Amino acid sequence: MMSEKRIKRLRRSLLARGLDGALIFGPENRFYFSGFWAEDLGCTESSGCLLITRDENFLLTDGRYEEQARREAKGFNVQIYKRGLKGLLKRLFGELEIKRCGLEGNYISYFRAKSIKGAFPKIKWVELSGISERMRSVKDKEEIERIRASQRVNEEVFEEVLSKIRVGMSEKELSFMILKGLMERADGPSFPTIVASGPNSSLPHAVPTDRRIRKHEPVIIDMGARLHGYCSDMTRTVFLEGPDKEFKKIYEIVKDAQKRAKEMIRAGITARKADSFSRDYITEKGLGKYFMHSLGHGVGIAIHEAPALSKRNRKKLKAGMVITIEPGIYLPGKGGVRLEDMAVVKEDGVEVITSKKWFYEF
């Protein structure tokens, strides 16, 4: 990974803010800059942080992660705290003469941030939330290749599972088949798999249940792999023995709405404008109120990252961003249809990196 180049960019941001150093707490951000991958199990528990100064790189963690940290975080001075992070910071802040320090406060609890700041009343603390995420939103070539590889595995699993779906199978059974395939071929899923059949498919983030799949009803399958630290994301809606007349029409509208967005999105337009390409079409068909989420999101180390392709986001898309394009229509009590592809934003359009397969042609 190109960690040195990334750290140089981060240091430029620190210098522009007059900072002597920065504490990086976000798991994805730690990985982005250091190669150290360890998940935090909640806002009350942390596997460590990075301390990036104007001249040095430190990884601060506890004994559980010492071996892993030394193996993965090449070029970092790994420091182990035995009596808590604040004790180690006290020594380092003194040795490094840090007076102004950035802090990623959005990745730790309010009480932990307050505790850290309170322990160093002479330090001038500056909030850094969003800086690392903006850097991560534009991918380099290696990152895009990792996402491609992750998606190839994701599609292999989907194709195998698709051949095994049967009437009477439960959502949980199908979800387990997907999970098994992702664990065998990748590092695991990039998010909890969504399998939603019949009326359950009207819930965009449905949780798999014991409900059994029936003929002609929509089955939304939203799945992704994590491979070498990077995520993939794909949704297909399938019908066993074909859809009924109503859902055939809905499927065609969603497919056409996605096609319009793929043809129109390019670098330089706002995320809000990108969202409108599908949303306006679905609204023209009289179903706008049933498309209740944004058109898409960025994908990378995290399954959901910048940019958000939302009608509220006025920021411009940049070449190198990897996004999802996933319009959907959800009829309460009946069911829904969502189709999702990943694409790389280019100056003159998008390059779809999801397979063109598994779309119905009625």
Read off the pLDDT of each residue in 52-71 and give the average, rounded to a whole number. Answer: 96
**Which pLDDT score, from 0 to 100, does residue 87 have?**
94
Read off the pLDDT of each residue in 65-72 and give the average, rounded to a whole number. Answer: 96
**Which pLDDT score, from 0 to 100, does residue 83 have?**
87
**Which pLDDT score, from 0 to 100, does residue 2 have?**
59
* Any domain includes 231: yes
**Which pLDDT score, from 0 to 100, does residue 44 have?**
74
* Any domain includes 362: no
Q: Which long-range contacts (CB under 8 A, 24 or more apart) does 273-281 make?
A: 274/309, 274/317, 274/323, 275/309, 275/310, 275/311, 275/313, 276/311, 278/325, 278/327, 279/311, 279/327, 281/253, 281/256, 281/257
**Beta bridge partner(s), residue 195:** 221
CATH number of the domain enclosing 213: 3.90.230.10
* Any domain includes 131: yes
**Which pLDDT score, from 0 to 100, does residue 45 have?**
78
* Any domain includes 168: yes
Closest alpha carbon to 353 in 319, 323, 331, 328: 323
Clarify whether residues 308 and 182 are in a common domain: yes
Identify which has the larger pLDDT, 362 or 99. 99
CATH number of the domain enclosing 62: 3.40.350.10
Read off the pLDDT of each residue in 185-190 and give the average, rounded to a whole number. Answer: 98
Clarify whether residues 252 and 180 are in a common domain: yes
* Any domain includes 359: no
Clarify whether residues 85 and 29 are in a common domain: yes
Clarify whether residues 144 and 59 are in a common domain: no
- Asked whether the predicted pLDDT for residue 69 surpasses 60, the reply is yes
- DSSP states of 85-154 as a string? HHHHHHHHHHHHT--EEEE-GGGS-HHHHHHHHHH-TTSEEEE-TTHHHHHHHS--HHHHHHHHHHHHHH
- Asked whether the predicted pLDDT for residue 325 surpasses 60, the reply is yes
User: Of 103-107, 122-126, 182-186, 300-304, which range is least confident?
Assistant: 103-107
Closest alpha carbon to 341 in 358, 325, 321: 325
**Which pLDDT score, from 0 to 100, does residue 156 have?**
98
Neighbours of 277 (CB within 10 A): 22
- Asked whether the predicted pLDDT for residue 38 surpasses 60, the reply is yes
**Which pLDDT score, from 0 to 100, does residue 345 have?**
98
Read off the pLDDT of each residue in 43-61 and give the average, rounded to a whole number. Answer: 92
Clarify whether residues 41 and 110 are in a common domain: yes
- pLDDT band for position 3 (cuts 50, 70, 90): confident
Looking at 108, 136, 164, which one is the last position of a domain? 136
Read off the pLDDT of each residue in 15-36 and give the average, rounded to a whole number. Answer: 96
Q: In the chain, how many domains are there?
A: 2
Clarify whether residues 148 and 289 are in a common domain: yes
Read off the pLDDT of each residue in 86-91 and give the average, rounded to a whole number. Answer: 95
**Which pLDDT score, from 0 to 100, does residue 163 have?**
96
The pTM (predicted TM-score) of the whole model is: 0.95
* Any domain includes 100: yes
Looking at 136, 169, 192, which one is the last position of a domain? 136
**Which pLDDT score, from 0 to 100, does residue 8 have?**
94
- Asked whether the predicted pLDDT for residue 214 surpasses 70, the reply is yes
Looking at 118, 136, 154, which one is the last position of a domain? 136
With contact defined as beta carbons under 8 Å apart, do 275 and 292 qualify? no
**Residue that has been written with the tokens 């049933």 in this structure:** 290
Clarify whether residues 132 and 119 are in a common domain: yes
**Which pLDDT score, from 0 to 100, does residue 42 have?**
74
Read off the pLDDT of each residue in 9-25 and give the average, rounded to a whole number. Answer: 95
